[in-house]
Chain A
Amino acid sequence: MTKAVSPLGEAWGQFLRNKPAVAGLALLIVIVGFVLYGHFLFNADPYRIVWGPLTAPGEREGIPLGTDFLGRDIFVLLLKGGGPTMAVGLSAALLTVVIGIAMGALAGYFGGWVDDLLMRLTEFFQVLPALLFAMVLVTLFAPSLVTISFAIGIVSWPGTARLTRAEFLRIRELEYVTAARSIGAGNSRIIWKVILPNALPPLIVSAALTVGVAILFEAGLSFLGLGDPNTISWGQMIGQNRNFLLEAWWPVAIPGLAIFFTVFAVSLVGDGLNDAFNPKLRSR
């Protein structure tokens, strides 16, 4: 007799058989581990000037990745700068998903004028160029990690909303929804307890990819010098060192690689989740 497996368990099994996805997950765990616990291992002040400015990687022992334009240790900065980047990425993605699901669920479930109104709102936010609008928000209201997460969240939700709406439109016509209604379940119960759990798989995938987008977004804002001035972040490191690009490539290249590998790992995981939830698409 075969053991019964829950759909989530089955998807997890699929995920584990997907090599790139598992590699991505491992890479992600390593990066997050370094960012969270790295400064316990290498207890150092990132603001401390350790050697001459723009020392090349490996040129001096104990400074494996060289120094930046002020002579600060790039490796220590990297450990410290990952935190804000990831915190903003995660909270912005969370905000995106919450707004997107709420909007999409209401629009898809109720239809009619609610749908019209919310979809017009969605289209409106899609017209605003996201980065520019985020720049405006951050400039008008002081740049802090909260403002930045908020700005990214408020410009990124339309995609999630559309996806949620499409899922709700499809699922609300299914028999188990009718069944739930016939036993007297109210609207909010049907939306959150009946339809949403069944709409989750594509939303989880999109949430994972949203984290990647939000990290890139935060990096872009910090690169432009619009990040929180009181914290170090990877994008900010690139922005500060770019004026010395012609003399030294490493203070710019290395933080960029850190961003790249983080987003790359996140998107491998996202793709893996997608394949795990949609086994039919795997042949493509």
Chain B
Amino acid sequence: MAMMRYILQRLLYGLILMLGVVVLNFFLIHAAPGDAAEVIAGEMGGTTEEMMAQIRAHYGLDQSIMVQLWIYLKQIAMGDLGTSYHFNRPVTELILQRLGPTVMLALSAQLIAMLLGVVLGVLSSRRPQGILSGFVSVFSTVGYAAPVFWTGLMLVILFAVWIPLFPVEGYVSARFRGTGLAYALNVAWHLVLPATTLGILFLAQYARLSRTAMIEVLGADYIRTARAKGLGEGKVTFNHALRNAVLPILTIAGLQFGNLISGALLVETVFNWPGMGRLAFDSVLRRDYPTLLGVLFFASAFVVLANLLTDLSYRFADPRIRTGGR
């Protein structure tokens, strides 16, 4: 019951944040030089004053700003993010098409980073001064300092050009006609390099973090007790220590989602991956504001949702938070 109330509270809070994003979006478009009518007119390749007035009336641009905000909010509440200037189709529809590839890329990268990172961190925590520990520290600084789009391009040169193991770019092979499993495998084959690129960016952080957390936990009294009881090292490490070290890792995982989206944006551009980032990039080039702001809206919603899920998994992982310390 308390859990349900908590979830509802968090959802409501998330909605308020999203409302903030929408209002910010609205005022940003208005603060920009020139108005939508001019952009649309530009896309159409010039027009008369009369046409401009018509466009303004059609988009409600001749109303007062508060009225426009109200219209905008009502539209968004009904799931209408406006019409793309360039594609001349509903923005929501455009984004929904692109949502799948982005989520797939972001989650695969997160999975690679977390699994490998935690394994590396746990292994190196067993010998804080060992070679693996040194490797983790160096790698975490290196992984942080390389621009993610550059890492992607270098991986392309290495594993798509010099050693042609993977495709240079794209989502699925151009003349691929398979369906079902064959199709999924083809997509997965295209996913390897982008997901690895994005994963490397976060892998180092997870490794470093789980190493620190594990070293701390391994020094605790209950670990000594567990060892004294005669439990094997594997059991102590994974059942006793890692369970307690997992909280800080979860915290970072949740906080990472915003960065994950930013990284995905660059990686999608590098690999021509047909996700939201690629769409954002294309709409920047075409000054297609509704689409760009629509992507910002969806990406923010994704972060809000990810934060909510992190909070919940937190409560799941730590009974003390779940019961409020009782």
Contacts and interface: CB of A to CB of B under 8 A. Distances in A.
Contacts of A126: 255, 258, 303
A166 to B, nearest CB: 14
A140 B147 contact: no
Most buried by A among B29, B142, B153, B303: B153
B153 A128 contact: no
A230 B184 CA distance: 44
B244 to A, nearest CB: 17
A256 to B, nearest CB: 4
A123 B14 CA distance: 10
14 contacts: A129-B262, A129-B299, A130-B262, A132-B261, A135-B265, A136-B293, A140-B32, A141-B32, A224-B281, A225-B285, A242-B270, A245-B157, A261-B145, A268-B141
Interface residues of A, number: 43
A253 to B, nearest CB: 7
A119 interface: no
Nearest to A257: B150
A136 B168 contact: no
A226 B284 contact: yes
Given A135-B280, A139-B284, A140-B289, A130 B145 contact: no
Given A126-B258, A129-B300, A246-B168, A238 B295 contact: no
A124 interface: yes
Contact of B303 (A127, A137, A140, A246): A127
B71 interface: no
Interface in B270-287: 270, 277, 280-281, 284-285, 287
A260 B145 CA distance: 5
A124 B17 contact: yes
A284 B284 contact: no
B5 to A, nearest CB: 20
Contacts of A130: 258-259, 262
| A contacts with B: majority SS | helix
A142 B289 CA distance: 14
Q: How large is the interface on B (under 10, 10 to 19, 20 to 34, 35 or more residues)?
A: 35 or more
B246 interface: no
Contact of A133 (B145, B154, B296): B296
Interface of B: 17, 20-21, 28-29, 31-33, 128, 141-142, 144-150, 153-154, 156-157, 161, 168, 212, 215, 255, 258-259, 261-263, 265-266, 269-270, 277, 280-281, 284-285, 287, 289, 292-293, 295-296, 299-300, 303-304, 307
Most buried by B among A132, A140, A224, A256: A132
B323 to A, nearest CB: 25
A246 B265 contact: no
A132 B265 contact: yes
Contacts of B32: 140-141
A263 B145 contact: yes
B121 to A, nearest CB: 12
A132 B295 contact: yes
A224 B266 contact: yes
Contacts of A140: 28-29, 31-32, 289
Nearest to B270: A242
Contact of A284 (B17, B212, B287, B296): B212
Contacts of A267: 141, 144-145
A245 B145 contact: no
A271 interface: yes
